[in-house]
């Protein structure tokens, strides 16, 4: 998350604010992340840097229904990781990176809303509802 935050600040240095939201998975939040955000948001740190304020918005534990993005990542995991036969961790990481690179390249060439390529094909309707669990039931 700290590396992601560093990348976001570098890429979106000209924005006013960056919101970070994540589910309650233990690896998403850490004391180091909170210290980093506190440092970034401090007046001393910001004095000579043009960077956005960072606002943390973690989702409550047991609230997969709020994490609509979970549907998208479950689909990506099914396409790339599950039932795969990679010879090494590196080969798997390369496949994930290639998938993201190809999707990003396609989007940069044809910038438009994801439409039917992603949205509308989720396992459950993409909306915030208490009964909505976006995780793929086959891979929990």
Mean pLDDT by 10 residues, the chain (140 residues): 91 92 72 92 91 86 62 74 89 88 82 57 57 55
Query: How many independent structural domains does the chain possess?
Result: 2
**Same domain (yes/no): 86, 107:** yes
The predicted pLDDT at position 116 comes to: 52
The predicted pLDDT at position 136 comes to: 55
**Same domain (yes/no): 93, 125:** yes
**Same domain (yes/no): 69, 119:** yes
Are the C-beta atoms of residues 22 and 28 closer than 8 Å to each other? Answer: yes
The predicted pLDDT at position 127 comes to: 58
**Same domain (yes/no): 29, 70:** no
**Same domain (yes/no): 75, 113:** yes
pTM of the model: 0.51
**Same domain (yes/no): 16, 50:** yes
The predicted pLDDT at position 54 comes to: 95
**Same domain (yes/no): 81, 118:** yes
Domain that holds residue 15: 2-56
Which tokens sit at 30?
């850490």
């Amino acid at each position: 998350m700290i590396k992601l935050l560093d990348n976001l600040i570098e890429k979106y240095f000209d924005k006013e604010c960056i919101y970070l939201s994540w589910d309650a998975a233990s690896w998403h939040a850490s004391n180091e992340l909170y210290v980093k955000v506190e440092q970034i948001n401090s007046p001393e740190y910001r004095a000579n840097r043009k960077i956005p304020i960072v606002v943390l918005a973690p989702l409550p534990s047991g609230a997969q229904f709020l994490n609509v993005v979970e549907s998208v990542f479950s689909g990506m995991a099914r396409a790339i990781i599950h039932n795969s036969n990679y010879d090494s961790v590196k080969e798997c990481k390369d496949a994930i990176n290639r998938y993201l690179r190809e999707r990003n390249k396609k989007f940069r060439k044809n910038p438009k809303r994801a439409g039917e390529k992603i949205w509308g094909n989720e396992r459950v309707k993409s909306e915030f509802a208490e009964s909505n669990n976006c995780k793929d039931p086959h891979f929990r």
